[in-house]
Amino acid sequence: MFSSLLTWWQWIIVGAIPLGVLSLYFLKLKRTPIEVPSTYLWHKSIEDLHVNSIWQRLRNNILLWLQLLLLLLAIIALLNPTFQGTKLVGSRFIFVLDNSASMQSRDVTLDGETVSRLEAGKQQVRALIESMPEGAVAMLISFADGAQVMQPFTDNPTDLLRAMEQIQPTDKPTSLTEALRVSSGLSNPTRTGSEEQDRIKASVMPAKLYVLSDGNFDVVDFALGALEPEYRKIGKGAARNIAITAFSVDKNVNDSTKIEAFASVDNFGPDEQSVVAELYLVGLPRPLDAVRVDIQPSRSQGISFPLARDFESGVLELQVRPESAAGDDLRIDDKAWVVVDNPHRARVLQVSATQNNELRFALSTRRFQDLISLKTVVLEEDPTYLESETYQLESRSGVYDLIVFDRCVPPDRPSPDGSTDEQETEMPLCNTMFIGTAPKLASWGWVAGEEWPPPLYLSQPKIIDTDRSHPIMQSVSLGNLLIVEGFGMAPPSGGRKLIDSNVSREADSALLTIGPREAFEDLILSFDLVNEDGYNTEWMLRQSFPVFVWNMVKYMGSPRDALSLASVSPGDPIELKIDSVESNEVTISTPGGETHTVARTPQQTFLFTRTDEVGIYDMRSDGKSVAKFAVNLFNPQESNIPPNDNLEFLYEPVPATEVTETVKQEWWKWLAGLALVVLLVEWFVYNRRVSL
């Protein structure tokens, strides 16, 4: 396209200039005859005579061609040639690139080659960066379940491109909220507390927000403020994917001596798929079992694998593959793992002042036998047990997960200076429950020299309310529970009242309270179940009592009755308590081969947060493997890979677009610069010829 800079009569003048230049080369030279004593210059003189003839053909003169080229460039520049190009409009841009698990889908073709969605997204980011106007600034963010600022605001495209190349795929699910929060924090003003400060702060810094993703995430509840979003959809609508969405091991419902592996496989593609599922024991080359199933589009198919009776432990791996040539666009969810291990039984110690058959019976049911390892001590029969060396050693070394003190408390701490002053209770290194009494701890209100436990309430305590949101009180219905006598306890800082009552103690009251103690928790039931007069409450006769005991042991003892260790999603932390580990540090190897050192927490567990990859993680201590755990995707939202046509915000969807702003790119400046270069060359050539 051309947009002339001159009028018609000006073009007539410009058009005559090349003719004038040519005419200069046709003019005859007026020479003065001079006699010379030699014929040295005859040949040159004859050539001049030929040139000065108007009808003689012009010689090939480089100066002529340079001058004509100079005029041609000048004329084209005056025509003002332009072309339609793509260029971003604005001065501030935020590029947000999705690198979650679904972006590993390989359903995009670039230059005849199939690439992942992440690579296609990088190419689009590159094009956007290269289309930024001069002087504009931009920021680059990658996001999966969280956001990472790869490059803060800069006007240097090279820095942005370098940061873009550093974005790597992840196995994590998708959440756009954190990326929006980071973007909004740098673009939207916030209130600061005073009108003057708000007036100064109110200089909004709007920015164009480009979200490059397949849109496979929940509706985004976020106020964009000064952000102007644009959604670039990446991926094909007809993408195919077969995914494992569940994999576990449990006992056979018909024969508890046998175990089975159960899996759920989903077809997220548009067509029916024939799928082969193979079950492997890691370490063996051949599958333990294999089945073939047909799965309808948008449907799930359950698969079960009976295992050998003597199978006790190991790592099972499930692989699925479609039989069709169309294949599978996302491979990360085609494998799943489960670690089969013996259940962890919570070690519980019950210490009672006298026989408490009701509590012992509740802790000795058949269901509890698979859940806990119980030791019962009756102080009436062994009155020195709590002062014995055996108890002192076991309570201080974390042998037990839970100790229940029924109408008794551990001995006091030894006095640091050998005095006889009253000391706090020496608490064991585990969770505890006290029934009908309370430990002497300042955090619970104990004061040396005062009556402890608190005095009994004179009339029958009445239950006012229960905290049904706490795990211990779930499905526990008390109603009009009869309690003969009890005392009130105020929870410590950070504690909770689980059973509220009318028992008053310093303007607070509770019959069941729980409170923290460093890495542990203490539960206090401030009324007896039984005493020397018989029953102190009817609670043991109600169905809610075994439910309460079950909840209490599950929460306070942390047993694990499943055959397999829990699987976690990529990016989620996992906390493991390994009884066989004596060291305070372990090393954990990731599926990618990296190793991380993890220290023991005050709760006597090992907390690991670097679960970024799917696969099997190996925990080792002193060079030996002590535990393994699996990280699986198991996320139907990530596996459902057909991209969304809209970016779903809470109030208004943002439709996908591939439109970029078209602007006229003018070339006359470049042509004028080139003409100047030609002029300099012509001047150089002319001067060399003159000097010669």
Q: What is the CATH number of domain 242-343?
A: 2.60.40.10
According to the model, what pLDDT value does residue 457 have? 82
Instruction: Give the end-to-end CA distance of the chain in Å, rounded to a whole number.
Output: 45
- What is d(CA 592, CA 105) in angstroms, rounded to the nearest whole number? 20
Q: Around 105, how many Cα atoms within 13 Å sit in the side-chain half-sphere?
A: 31
Write the DSSP symbol of residue 564: B
Is the model's pLDDT at 51 over the cut of 60? no
The pTM assigned to this predicted structure is: 0.63
According to the model, what pLDDT value does residue 365 have? 81
Which range has the worst mean pLDDT, 262-266, 290-294, 411-415?
411-415
The number of helices, as runs of H, and strands, as runs of E, in the chain is 13, 34
- What is d(CA 315, CA 630) in angstroms, rounded to the nearest whole number? 9
Buried residues in 578-600 as b, exposed as e (16+ CB within 10 A): beebeeeebebbbbeeeeeebeb
92-190+200-238+641-665 is classed in which CATH architecture? 3-Layer(aba) Sandwich (3.40)
- What is d(CA 124, CA 139) in angstroms, rounded to the nearest whole number? 15
According to the model, what pLDDT value does residue 161 have? 93
**Hey, which residues does 142 pair with through a beta bridge?**
97, 148
- What is d(CA 95, CA 140) in angstroms, rounded to the nearest whole number? 5
Give Cα separations from 116 to 123, 145, 331, 364, 635 (angstroms): 11, 19, 11, 57, 19
- What is d(CA 528, CA 534) in angstroms, rounded to the nearest whole number? 10
According to the model, what pLDDT value does residue 638 have? 92
What average pLDDT does range 258-279 have in this prediction? 91
According to the model, what pLDDT value does residue 280 have? 93
Which range has the worst mean pLDDT, 176-185, 196-205, 625-634, 671-680?
196-205
Of the ranges 51-60, 302-311, 437-446, 666-675, the best mean pLDDT one? 437-446
DSSP string, 149-163: EEEEEES-HHHHHHH
According to the model, what pLDDT value does residue 192 have? 42
Which range has the worst mean pLDDT, 71-75, 78-82, 225-229, 474-478?
78-82
Residue 199 banded pLDDT, cuts 50, 70, 90: very low
What average pLDDT does range 332-357 have in this prediction? 87
According to the model, what pLDDT value does residue 331 have? 92
Residue 668 banded pLDDT, cuts 50, 70, 90: low
- pLDDT tens for each residue of 591-614: 999 999 999 887 678 889 999 999
- What is d(CA 276, CA 265) in angstroms, rounded to the nearest whole number? 11
According to the model, what pLDDT value does residue 197 have? 42
Is the model's pLDDT at 177 over the cut of 70? yes
Give Cα separations from 112 to 109, 115, 127, 196, 670 (angstroms): 6, 9, 18, 59, 34
Is the model's pLDDT at 11 over the cut of 60? yes
Write the DSSP symbol of residue 6: S
**Hey, which residues does 463 pair with through a beta bridge?**
501
Number of Cβ atoms within 10 Å of the Cβ of 441: 15
Residue boundaries of the structural domains of the chain = 8-80+685-691, 92-190+200-238+641-665, 242-343, 346-414+423-557
Does 59 or 306 have the greater pLDDT score?
Answer: 306
Domains 92-190+200-238+641-665 and 346-414+423-557 share a fold: yes
Residue 689 banded pLDDT, cuts 50, 70, 90: low
Is the model's pLDDT at 369 over the cut of 70? yes
Is the model's pLDDT at 376 over the cut of 60? yes
Number of Cβ atoms within 10 Å of the Cβ of 170: 25
Residue 131 banded pLDDT, cuts 50, 70, 90: confident
According to the model, what pLDDT value does residue 20 have? 64
According to the model, what pLDDT value does residue 43 have? 58
Does 528 or 59 have the greater pLDDT score?
Answer: 528
What average pLDDT does range 457-472 have in this prediction? 86
In 155-255, at which residue ranges do the beta strands (DSSP E only) sit? 207-213, 227-233, 242-251
Please give the class, per CATH, of domain 346-414+423-557.
alpha beta
Which range has the worst mean pLDDT, 93-107, 136-150, 393-407, 654-668?
654-668
- pLDDT tens for each residue of 26-49: 554 555 666 655 555 555 555 555
AA identity, residue 95: F
According to the model, what pLDDT value does residue 662 have? 43
Does 67 or 495 have the greater pLDDT score?
Answer: 495
Is the model's pLDDT at 327 over the cut of 50? yes
Six token digits for residue 66: 């340079």
Write the DSSP symbol of residue 442: G
Residue 117 banded pLDDT, cuts 50, 70, 90: very high
